[in-house]
Amino acid sequence: MKSFIIISLLTIITISCSYKPKSLTENSLIGSWECLTGCDAEIYKFSKSESEFTYQSFKNQVILKTGTFYIKDSLLTLKSDDGTTEIYMAELRNDSLILDNGKLVLTFYIEETDFSNNTDELFGGMEDLLKVFPDFDFSNQEPVDFTYKSEVFENHYETITISGIGVKTSVKLEGEFITADDVINRITNVFLEQGFKPDILNNSENCNTYISENMVFMICVTETQPNEFGGEMNLAINFGFIN
């Protein structure tokens, strides 16, 4: 009996002494992390560029801070673009990131696309498609929420809200764009060439919708003002992901 107790104690001591926290590097943090306690933000997204490691923090699906980060001697340093610096003692335990001995706790967040809205990736996707229209001014982009009707199962639908990017522009009806339909058809053809398909369910009198996997584009004519020189139309394009 004594031998059994001694062996059990030695086993526990051996396991305890052999425990080593996971080594922590910048690459260990790549991905999205949800804060469970102690943070100002709800989600932290860590990324790697060609020259540095960057991060973004989100609250209510809006970017709170952006900047760079690095790790040295188990210290995580966040250098924000607004000039502030935060330093934390960091430890990685399974899928949890423990900062300052538990004052802040984050867990790895799998569904990154839930918080891909309002990020550089989303703006970039919009710009890639719209840069083929050099005559249009699509520079004024901003976060926007728009509704989308999604099929839950056959002949049953629900209306969801997509948090994405919106852009508004005015287009003169002249040259190759004599009518509003000319403008819409030109943009539509670009979407179709990029692999988007018409989403008739979400079309309306003034809006046409296109979808590619979980990516949605909605083009709306908000107003057309004809005049003796051809006129002008106001156009709104919303872009986002279905989560």
Tell me: the pLDDT tens digits for 134-146? Answer: 556 666 667 888 8
User: Contact at 8 Å (CB) between 127 and 46?
Assistant: no
Lowest mean pLDDT, pick from 112-121, 134-143, 161-170: 112-121
| pTM, 2 dp | 0.47
Average pLDDT value over all residues in the chain: 77
Mean pLDDT along residues 79-97: 91
pLDDT of 220 over the 80 cut: yes
* Residue of 62 and 223 predicted with greater confidence: 62
pLDDT of 60 over the 50 cut: yes
Residue % of the chain over a pLDDT of 90: 21
Structural domains of the chain, with CATH: 17-115 (2.40.128), 120-241 (3.30.310)
Instruction: Give me the count of residues in the chain.
Output: 243
pLDDT of 9 over the 50 cut: no
